[in-house]
Chain A
Amino acid sequence: MVGAGSALEAANSLCHACVDLLEVDGASISLMHEGNSRGTFGSSNELSRRLDSLQYTFGEGPCLDAVREGRPVLATDLSDPQDQRWPAFRDAMLESGVRAVFALPVAVASSYVGALDLFRSQKGEMTTEALTGGLMAAELAALPLLDLMTADVDWEGAGQGDDGWEQLASLERVEVYQATGMIMGAMEMGPSEALVRLRAHAYARGMTASELAWAVVERRLQLDVDDWSGDAGDVTGPAR
């Protein structure tokens, strides 16, 4: 994975920021992308990374539920015998001194591809401010996950000068949603995969996601399966 280094770095920094700002003791980001690349891809420390990946070992945990259900899953007191949602995962948490875990889903192109897990040694709810901050961090986590999903693109230096919110905003546009759907229709892939392809293509051509999306929507760019999965064809017609 050529471009994975900087994406992992970004994911780790985001986890460290969560620990500094959100009154939690550990944080990790995991990716559950259409089965093939599952795993923990960023963390604030080794313990958080290990705890997070335990969910894959046990096949249960708040992060898996958060992705499946597409909503935050909050366990405010794992020592509460009433909470029997993830018995194996829970015991491992308690043994490691974790009493509360908050799993916030990460969405890419309307589908949930991963989660931000926040661990705390004290039981109790998150404050409203911390939860709001956590939800924002989960939004930002979409960027390193998108990069990780595009193993064949070197994102080093891509989007320079843009902050994370600007990069996200460049994808949150009507024409990008429509073009994503057209790519889905042409290639028979899911929305997150289609957005990953769109973004990689735009980058390879030195275009913005919006410019490439308009070219797709206005059919100036052919969605040829062979072309699209490797190198791209030409954009015809006047540039907007």
Chain B
Amino acid sequence: MTAGREREVTRAFVSLASNLANGYDVVDLLNDLTVDCARLLDVASAGLLLADGRGVLHVMAASSERTRQLEVFQLQRAEGPCRDCFHEQKAIPVPDLAAQAARWPQFVPAALEAGFASVHALPMRLRDNGLGALGLFGTTVGALGPDDLSLGQALADVASVALVQDNAAADRTAVNEQLQTALTSRVVLEQAKGVLAQQGELDMPQAFAVLRKYARDHNLPLTKVAQAIVSRALPAEAALDHARTRGQSRS
């Protein structure tokens, strides 16, 4: 590990640890985490899939907004390495996607078309409970090194801890309730992005930046701001104005 990367890894974990200690917004944290994965590991894109109470996987966070890439994550509700990883509760390394076309006849062509050549799926779990999977997508063929894999798993473990906050109440019903809350927060976030995109004539990444800037500058959880936009307690125009007059967010 180079000194520069080591410093970045340290910074990412310090930031996660301080978020965990100080109360945090789970959607915001998981989003940061996928961005950290894509930046720190030798991968192009990272996505986090969470299971609902029926064991169906949903996109909880992704490092990229590119539509084809999102579709690759969503497809794995039906088949793919993240789905297998979740069901088998173990890492599924796929260094050469093209060679696995027979195993996942729908997923592989879609992933290749989106520009991916390899994927490594890592399980998210808390004790005996499977929560979902972290998918690490690369644009070149090849296996991730052991350093990258263990760092990726560490990041997935942090995400799992962040999702299930009350360790004492870790029976399956309580876990499902917390996962459902996180998934609903994600739905509301996407709806709020849609409202801002429409009213401010923005694309989705810009709408997300507006939302996040408003939340950070007012020291509010991202989810609360998204809820307020959706319920119209906070007019979309107010968040758009804030972003216009205060310039672009640094993060």
**A interface residues (Cβ-Cβ under 8 A, vs B):** 107, 109-110, 128, 131-132, 135-136, 139, 165, 169, 172-175, 177-186, 191, 214, 217-218, 223
Contact = CB atoms under 8 A, between A and B. Distances in A.
B245 interface: no
Contacts of B140: none
B165 to A, nearest CB: 17
B191 A172 contact: no
A165 B197 CA distance: 30
Contact of B197 (A132, A136, A182, A191): A182
Interface stretch (B13-21, B92-100, B129-137, B182-190): B182-190
B67 A110 contact: no
B236 A185 contact: yes
Given A132-B53, A178-B204, A185 B187 contact: no
23 contacts: A107-B184, A109-B187, A109-B191, A128-B173, A136-B53, A169-B56, A172-B56, A173-B74, A178-B191, A180-B194, A181-B196, A181-B197, A181-B230, A182-B195, A182-B197, A183-B198, A184-B191, A184-B194, A184-B195, A184-B198, A185-B195, A191-B230, A218-B67
B197 A185 contact: yes
A131 B197 CA distance: 39
Contacts of B53: 132, 135-136
Interface string B192-228: 1111111100001000000000000000000000000
Contact of B191 (A110, A132, A217): A110
B58 interface: yes
Contact of A185 (B186, B194, B204): B194
Interface of B: 53-54, 56, 58-59, 67, 70, 74, 77, 173, 184, 186-188, 190-199, 204, 230, 236
Contacts of B74: 173-174
A175 B67 contact: yes
B196 A178 contact: no
Contact of B198 (A131, A175, A223): A223
A143 B70 CA distance: 25
Given A110-B187, A169-B56, A178 B77 contact: no
Nearest to A180: B191
A186 B200 CA distance: 11
Contacts of B236: 185
Majority-rule SS of A interface residues = helix
Contact of B194 (A107, A173, A179): A179
Contacts of B77: 169
Top 4 A-B pairs, shortest CB-CB distance: A181-B194, A185-B198, A177-B190, A181-B191
A223 B67 CA distance: 20
Contacts of B54: 136, 139, 165
Given A174-B190, A178-B204, 10 more contacts: A107-B184, A110-B184, A177-B191, A177-B194, A178-B193, A178-B197, A181-B191, A181-B198, A181-B230, A185-B198
A190 to B, nearest CB: 8
Contacts of B191: 109-110, 177-178, 180-181, 184, 191
A143 to B, nearest CB: 15
A50 to B, nearest CB: 31
B114 to A, nearest CB: 13
A174 B192 contact: no
Contacts of B188: 110
B107 to A, nearest CB: 16
A186 B198 contact: yes
Nearest to A214: B67
A110 B194 contact: no
Nearest to B70: A174
A109 B196 CA distance: 17
Contacts of A214: 67
Contacts of A218: 67
